[in-house]
Amino acid sequence: MIGMGTVVNTLAILAGGCVGLVLRKGLPEKWQNTVMHGIALCVGVIGMQMALKTQNIMIVIASMVIGGIIGEAFDIEDRLNTFGNWVGSKIIRNKQNSDDKAITAIGEGFVAASLVFCVGAMAIVGSLQDGLTGNHTTLYAKATLDGIAAIIFTVNMGVGVLLSAFSVAIYQGSITALAGFLGPYMSQTVTAEVTATGGLLIVAISINMLKIAQIRLGNLLPAIIIAGLIATFVG
């Protein structure tokens, strides 16, 4: 059935997140911090591997600049944080008596995990395969990886990671539904540049997790779309 790959991927993230919540309760805070630093370094390596797939670094640079300008103009970062905090306040029902840091953490976990799970060649290629041929193999493999990652991320970032499952459902589901239209434009070059640009954003997640700097990641999100557009015309 077309779309089953995304359904399985979404369920895998939810299942992994639930396991992570159980494990989270049994880990001392200093252990959580150490593990989070280790995961942040691994996320950085994954991002660099993706970023190095570019075939034209100028496309990536132009995409980051143009995407950053668009993101700042629409203030995407604050809008995402507002949405994440709103969701957090609904999960922590009594907002007046709740910890604002806990609410903010939910939003941060949602945004960070959504990027990690949505950005990358497997999400794009797998969703196209699902929509065009009904082949779920790539997304099933991605579901396995995402489920394991969801356990680790939830231990370190909390319940917000589970919400990223809905981002995956919408993102991959949209690509699957539009596969007939998008397929002819998603050449190897376009996929490479979108993956590379997304990889840099994942490196930024690592930097934020390590608290080296606080990058306004949400305002760089349009760079992924810009990369695809530029690569399409240049290609």
Q: How far apart are CA 195 and CA 205, in angstroms?
A: 15
Residue 69: closest CA among 228, 226, 199, 210: 226
Q: What is the pLDDT of residues 112-150, one digit of tens each?
A: 888 889 877 788 888 988 988 888 888 998 998 899 889
DSSP 48-63: HHHHTT-S-HHHHHHH
Q: How far is CA 126 from the centre of its chain?
A: 15
Mean pLDDT of 95-104: 60
The yes-or-no verdict on residue 155 having pLDDT over 60 is yes
Q: What is the pLDDT of residue 103?
A: 66
Largest CA distance in the chain: 55
Q: What is the pLDDT of residue 29?
A: 74
Q: What is the pLDDT of residue 35?
A: 77
Q: How would residue 14 be classed by pLDDT, with cut points 50, 70 and 90?
A: very high
Q: What is the pLDDT of residues 206-226, one digit of tens each?
A: 898 888 988 888 899 899 889
Q: How far apart are CA 196 and CA 157, in angstroms?
A: 25
Give just the sign of the alpha carbon dihedral 61, 121, 202, 79: positive
Q: What is the pLDDT of residue 28?
A: 77
Q: What is the pLDDT of residue 159?
A: 86
Q: How far apart are CA 176 and CA 186, in angstroms?
A: 13
Contacts of 111 (CB under 8 A, 6+ apart): 80, 81, 84, 160, 217, 218
Q: What is the pLDDT of residue 79?
A: 84
Which of 99-103, 151-155, 224-228 has the largest mean confidence? Answer: 224-228
pTM of the model as a whole: 0.76
Q: Are 140 and 5 in contact (CB under 8 A)?
A: yes
Q: How would residue 91 be classed by pLDDT, with cut points 50, 70 and 90?
A: low
Q: What is the pLDDT of residues 64-88, one digit of tens each?
A: 999 999 999 999 888 877 777 777 6
Q: How far apart are CA 1 and CA 35, in angstroms?
A: 39
Q: Are 77 and 217 in contact (CB under 8 A)?
A: yes
